[in-house]
Amino acid sequence: LSEGGSSFSEEEQSRLKEVMRDSLESEMELARELYNLSKEDSRIGFEPSCHYFYLPLDLVEKVINCRWILERIGP
């Protein structure tokens, strides 16, 4: 949104950035909660019907990635 050539007004860009920041903060909070739960019970994070699983470290990576995006969005 901060790149040139946007068709959004500055007010719209500001509002969209705020929505993005709120979403990222929420995602980080959920990842932290799920991290704690998955550390307590290793079955959390495993979906046998889809053969999908994630590890607590995956949740740490999610928080790091969200922080990186927040830094790029700026104030």
| pLDDT tens digits, one per residue of 7-61 | 889 899 999 999 999 999 999 999 999 999 999 998 888 888 888 888 899 999 9
d(CA 8, CA 16): 10
Block residue for tokens 């500055």: 10
Q: What is the DSSP code (8-state) at residue 47?
A: E
List of long-range contacts for 45-49, beta carbons under 8 Å, 24+ apart: none
> What's the confidence (pLDDT) of residue 74?
84
